[in-house]
Amino acid sequence: MKAVEIKPGVYWVGAIDWNIRDFHGYSTYMGTTYNAFLIVDRDITLVDTVKKPFVGELLERVSQIVNPKDIRYLVVNHVEMDHSGGVPEVVSAIEPEKVICSEMGRKALLRHYHNPDWPYHVVSTGDVISIGSKELHFLETRMLHWPDSMFTYIPQDRLLISSDAFGQHWATSQRFDDEVDGEELMRHAAKYYANIILLYSPLVQKLLEKVKSLNLDIDMIAPDHGLIWRSNPRRIIEAYDRWSRQIARAKAVVVYDTMWKSTEKMAHAVAEGLMAEEIEVKLMSLKACHRSDVVTEILDAKGVAVGSPTLNNGLFPTVADLLTYLKGLKPAGKLGLAFGSYGWSGEAARIIADYLRDMKFELVQDPLRVNYVPGKDELKDCFEAGKKLGAKIKESLSS
């Protein structure tokens, strides 16, 4: 695949990873891209590199445009190794005059690659480097989602190179948002936000306020993963504003696992109760659904009902996995319901309730517990619990 010009003199020279299926616990069933950008000006600049196995692709694409030895500056917006893994080989190949990064980026590069002799040039928010007809403006975005993270903005092109913000894990032969299905694109962007950025939502709000105060004129956003936003960058900015404020809809996720179908029967009854209150329901078995897809559905849901059988005085492993993963992402403003079946000890539903309370979920009632197989009356109790959760969702959204 050839390098792609995204602005006059600015080229995508990254790599497509068609086969990756897991990104530290996040299901990347459609692969991903590692985006890097070559800016051809008086001082030729490469912004970001790629994951180590793809360095050859990057250098080949660069070579289609310029001799790699002619690159003067390397900008490292983010040190996570899917972007910086190629830095040692790239530095060796191009011998840049400057490796431009934040102060936290310099420290992280030293800890990752243990090379104090690279020509580090530290920048911070507000710093500007002229590379000829274009300028590079830098904006630190600490903890979005690593301490070293920063944006690079080119005002002459109205181009924001946004590191890990505004991205998607989606491998495609297309490079731009208007070349793919827009709704599918937003689903991938929502999954990316829910599983990577959600924890940092308060910082996203501060960043959006900062960008607004700087009056940045943006007509293209080039993230380090996925498609480049050229037709309507406001769409993803507005989505980040909405997601970071954790605005919920009249929607509930009922997620569970089951041993002998008892907890599954309870889950279906809870879902029926929610639907009786005209609440949109996503019923998700952890045998069929990956944790990262469950979290994506929880992103804009007001209610979350979690069910597990009791196994060895504790949670079923997949449910424990989901709750541990979800707790780390700190979803806010949710209503919760815990349920589960058991044979003799019955701890699971109570443990789920404790997890939900720790996440500041408002529980609509005590945990639902059924011994062995639920009968007609117990399934009615589950249905009524679903109705209660649904009524509470409607009440909370109308107030």
* Catalytically annotated residues: 24, 78, 80, 82, 145, 164, 192, 225
Could you tell me if 338 and 349 are in contact, meaning their C-beta atoms sit under 8 angstroms apart? yes
Q: How far is CA 121 from CA 7, 86, 180, 291, 376, in A?
A: 26, 18, 38, 40, 70
